[in-house]
Chains A and B, each alone.
Chain A
């Protein structure tokens, strides 16, 4: 198959970007979207042009490094996948595919399709951890935890920090990400000693970094590759309100 790629090109964070058109031929439906991009980049290099910069690492949906806005949806239009898990068979032969970087003030473009997500790291530094001495491997059953909490905490912890929630949000809000990170500790006994400071500090840094405020549109839940539920935002709100009145 063949497609026409309409890709955002931008030299650096200061420069003005533009869309460029790239026809790509000889694509197999079994290729991943990134393999198709690799093929295009090889050709650009051979032609003496600058290849398209895009973020990727594991290419199996676990690291959270990749993330493109494809044809108006984060990570493409399929549910529950990252961009690296997207295959060319989900596009039509001859289709024009618009490829854009995540757009949010807190995620400035570094080059082409790569954005700076270090704002997420700074939110994590503000409280996305537990300060306990771990020592040797602890006995998994030493602390009894209700199964339902374990499952919920695990669901929250599956957030890979890709930033799709911010990218799709009309307010560029990071509340699904922060909600997941607050929740994964709020649900477990190990998270309790620092629960209050955690939610206060993480929300404060989230606001400082310039993310918007959630208006509960629910777009993030639909677009999240790990299908993180809005319930985690609700839990963060509860934790935040609790922290403020206690």
Chain B
């Protein structure tokens, strides 16, 4: 077993964990967005979608547990890397024109990730929790657009909106970076990865953002 711990504690091992968990989270985003789009079908459509999901409760619980593991691994490793990398650096340069050699999103992964963490905790503690204790079956849509924990609450809508912009930055660097970590970013697949990357850093965050804007600010589906 010792090679496993050696691997997990090595610089490239930690990168690999970030990349695997990061890409799995990207996959989850696709599924999550697809589910959220049922909001546009109106209250009944959305409620019946959520109810249908609840019918597979054991399966949902297993998926949630796996997700928790993935998020845990990603967050733990991400924070650990950030701390260790800070330790590896010495005094700051008096003059550092880093903007000329690397992208903004690549240098702000810890910050964008941390904002996502705040969003994640808020989201779980409010929406996810409310869904767990809602048993009557018809109130899911109201929770989402409502004035308490939903998009009807201005501060919730703003937090969600800002978080999606940060998600875009996080994935602008993160998605293609994961492939570099696996060692397949820079040969003949480079262009392809760049193109697929647009789906993750632009289209998906924009999709979530549109839900926030549509239901939080434009009145939503009546």
Q: Which residues of A contact B (CB under 8 A)?
A: 6, 19, 69, 71-73, 77, 98, 100, 103-108, 168, 170-173, 175, 203-204, 206-207, 210-219, 222-223, 229-231, 233-238, 240-241, 244
State whether A241 touches B96 (Cβ < 8 A): no
| Interface of B toward A, CB cutoff 8 Å | 3, 6-7, 10-16, 81, 84-85, 87-98, 100-103, 106-107, 109, 173, 177, 180-187
**Closest CB in chain B relative to A172 CB, distance in Å:** 4
Report whether B88 and A103 are in contact in the complex, using a CB–CB cutoff of 8 Å: no
- Which residues of chain A have C-beta atoms less than 8 A from B97's C-beta? 71-73, 77
Q: Is the CB of B11 within 8 A of A203?
A: yes
What residues on A are CB-neighbors of B181 within 8 Å? 216, 237
Q: Which of A175, A206, A219 lies in contact with B102, CB distance below 8 A?
A: A219
Bound CA span A106–B180, Å: 25
In angstroms, Cα B16 to Cα A6, docked, is 41
Number of A-B contacts defined by CB within 8 Å: 145
Q: Is A241 in contact with B15, judged by CB distance below 8 angstroms? A: no
Shortest A232–chain B CB gap in Å is 9
Q: Are A218 and B93 neighbours in the complex by a CB distance under 8 Å?
A: no
* B interface SS class: helix
Are A69 and B107 in contact, with the CB atoms below 8 A?
no
Contacts of A217 in B (CB 8 A): 102-103, 106-107, 173
- In the complex, chain A residues whose CB is within 8 Å of the CB of B91: 103
Choose one: A108, A203, A210, A229; the contact of B12 (CB below 8 Å).
A203
* Complex CA distance for A217 and B15, rounded to whole angstroms: 13
A121 CA to B95 CA, complexed, in Å: 28
A172 to B92, CA, bound (A): 11
* Known pairs A71-B95, A211-B88, A216-B173; A230 contacts B180 (CB<8 A): yes
**Closest chain B CB from A222 CB (angstroms):** 4
14 contacts between A and B (CB under 8 A): A19-B94, A72-B93, A73-B100, A168-B98, A171-B89, A207-B10, A213-B14, A213-B81, A214-B15, A218-B101, A222-B102, A241-B12, A241-B16, A244-B7
When distances are taken between beta carbons in the complex, the residues of chain A under 8 Å from B100 are 72-73, 77, 222
- Contact, CB under 8 Å: B101 / A216: no
On whether the beta carbons of B3 and A244 are closer than 8 Å, the reply is: yes
Please tell me which one of the listed residues B84, B102, B186 contacts residue A231 in the complex, with CB atoms under 8 A apart: B186
Contact of B185 among A203, A213, A234 (CB under 8 A): A234
